[in-house]
Amino acid sequence: MTSNNSFTQPTRQQLQQWQRAYEFRRAMSTTELENENHANQCTFLVQSGGNVSLPEIHLYEGKVSPKLLSPPSNNTPRRYLAFFSGGLHGPIRPNLFHYWKNHDADIRVYEYLPKDLDYYSFMLNSKFCLCPSGHEVASPRIVEAIYAECVPVILSKYYVLPFSDVLQWEAFSVQVEVSDIP
């Protein structure tokens, strides 16, 4: 991938390498990646002279929540306009909490979700899922939002979206400049 805005059609070999890297990352649990330090192998698999951004996933048991595997039908109304729950860390989230936490009943923003509420139920009942970066530029919420059929709202600086040279992210997500918060 290049840093300029020109689009170069990837070669078949590049696509195959990216697919292998993606499959490798999906096959590894978070614990395996941390304990065995396989994260660098994902990048190593790509021999095209650069790195490829992979979707970050956060699967404790290597499985997607059953709730996310059966989202509500398209004609089921979504109760909330937007949702986010996560820790107060990194440079972006303080602004998000300052402007949106407890300010609007339709935009549910929690620093930590109370134990009696369910994270995935909120995603499944929201039209937009806010995906701000924290300590890292990427967020597993992007993948979770896609599973929940909730439009990911990406709030991050310097994040090259996964497979952005072949996926039209603007067709199924919203990117908001950090400076545009609120």
The predicted model gives 115-135 an average pLDDT of 91
Which amino acid appears at position 179 of this protein? S
Residue range(s) defining the domain that contains residue 101: 66-180
Give the three-class secondary structure for 43.
Answer: helix
Per-residue pLDDT of 2-15, as tens digits, reads: 444 334 455 666 56
Is the pTM value of this prediction over 0.75?
A: no
Name, in order, each residue with C-beta under 8 angstroms of 173's C-beta and a sequence gap of 6 or more. 142, 151, 152, 153, 154, 161
Whether residue 70 sits in one domain with residue 138? yes
* Residue 153: CATH number of its domain: 3.40.50
Can you tell me the distance from the alpha carbon of 40 to that of 178, in angstroms, rounded to the nearest whole number?
A: 28
> Are 117 and 166 in a shared domain?
yes
61 vs 17, higher pLDDT = 61
> Which residues, 6+ apart, have CB-to-CB distance to 27 below 8 Å?
none
pLDDT at residue 176 tops 90: no
